[in-house]
Amino acid sequence: MTCLPEDVRALALLLPETVEGAHQGHPDFRVGGRIYATLWTDEARVVVKLTPDEQARVLEDEPDVFEPVPGSWGGRGWTSLDLDAADEAALRIALLTAWRTVAPGDLVARYDDLALDP
C-alpha cells in the first residue's frame, strides 16, 4: 500500500503541460504556472490542491490516507496524502483531480477523458 516519492513524480509528469519546480525547498508540480501538488519527501506525503467539496469527499472515503493541511490552506482545499498509507489508485486520483482543479479550463477540456490508468 505504500507509494514512493518517485511514484508521485512519475505520475505527475504524465499529466499534460506539467512542469516540475520547487516551492519552499520541496519539489512541486505546476500546470499553467499554478502549483497543484507539492512533494514532502522527508515526511512521505504529497500535498494536493482540491476543491473544498473534493476534499470533503476524499476525507470521508479514505480518512487514513488524506487530511486537510492545517489552518486556512486546508480550508481552501489543500490536502495531504500520506504516501505510506496510500495505494497507487488513491495517488493517481488525487493528482489527476488536483491537476484538473488548477489547470486552465481550455486545457482541461482538451483532456476531458484523461485518466492515469496503469
- Residue 2, pLDDT score: 84
> pLDDT, tens digit, for every residue of 49-61?
999 999 999 999 9
Q: Which amino acid is present at 116? A: L
Q: Taking the complete model, does pTM exceed 0.85, yes or no?
A: yes
- Residue 63, pLDDT score: 96
> pLDDT, tens digit, for every residue of 66-118?
999 999 999 999 999 999 999 999 999 999 999 999 999 999 988 877 765 55
- Residue 17, pLDDT score: 96
Q: Which domains does the chain have, with CATH numbers?
A: 5-104 (3.90.1150.30)
- Residue 23, pLDDT score: 83
Looking at the predicted structure, is the pLDDT value of residue 42 above 70?
A: yes
- Residue 116, pLDDT score: 59
Distance CA 106, CA 86 (A): 31
- Residue 115, pLDDT score: 67
- Give residue 19's pLDDT band: very low, low, confident or very high (50, 70, 90): very high
Which residue in this structure is represented by grid cell 476524499?
58
- Where do the DSSP E strands lie in 1-118? 19-23, 26-31, 34-40, 45-49, 66-68, 78-82
